[in-house]
Structure 1
Amino acid sequence: MELHIVHIREDVSDITEAKKIADGMAVLAFFIKVEEENKNYATLINELENIKYKGQTAQMEALPLSSLLPPEEDLGRYYRYEGSLTTPDCHEGVIWTVFEKPIELSISQISQFSTIHFDGKNSTSMAENFRPAQFLNGRKVYWSSASILLPTAKVLMLVLMLTYILSSLFQ
């Protein structure tokens, strides 16, 4: 599982306007790793019961976004590249930052997310809904711990490794 935090520039009013600007959108991405229960996610996961279908809402206490992320000292290692949104219209020109340190949740916590549906009661569950790995198409991938571009072979290995990890989570 992954967590994507989508941002738009401060000087635009909405995502439609952000798409008109080359660097109008940025996504922070975190992989989810099966470990022990993460108590910081309890409030959010408890509310999933109330929002299983499109259009449902839930009221919950304010939750600082920082409490859902790895500790700040673990956010210094990441990969960055210019890519696209992963959902239709798959808009290009999004600056991606993929962090090395995963968020740790229990298998029980992760399974709660797959009970949510895309639409009404008989619709598809939000599971196995990942986009296949895409070709680099000349994109450059940067690594925070290096001031140089990653060699293409290492990028390919990274993509293959991440695809394997993601697919093994759902087996």
Structure 2
Amino acid sequence: MSVSKIIVMGVSGCGKSLIGTRLAERLQVPFFDADDFHSPANVAKMASGVPLTDSDRSGWLDDLAELVQGEQGGLVLACSALKRAYRDRLRSGNPSLQFVYLKGDMETIWSRHSSREDHYFNGRSMLESQFRTLEEPEPGEGAIVVDVCEPPDRIVERCLAVLSTPDRRRKN
């Protein structure tokens, strides 16, 4: 399979890390979690229940775009990528970058999110803020869109099937 660079995107708690890890294993490329690249100030802000602003995310997005561009052998990155402008920034210099959007409704994701332990992302209001910020990928972006209610193995298989098609951007 020639796919090398993938971002698994969506709101907090949608399963980005789980699906991203499994995709990376299947594709035999490194997995990265964008949360690990936040500054201490951003982590503290989110831990106190304050949503990040575009300004807060600016340096983080630059670091992630550099990571994507620098990984010559490919990668899978779990990253919220909530706005099209963020996705465009990540795609800059990485034209073959593919997005997988894990789509779900507030209540489904909140039920999963509220059972997580030891994560700095704090509270329902933070998740609601992400849903307000979210600009779902448009058809022209070529994202693979999958429902978070599907079992993880099925999500991974669907992604791999689409990624293996010769002209995958037109198949979505």
Compare CA radii of gyration and give the structure with the larger one.
1
Q: TM-score, normalised to structure 2's length?
A: 0.28
Of Structure 1 and Structure 2, the greater helix share is in 2
Q: Which has the higher contact order (CA 8 A, sep 6+)?
A: 2
Of Structure 1 and Structure 2, the greater strand share is in 1
Q: TM-score, normalised to structure 1's length?
A: 0.28
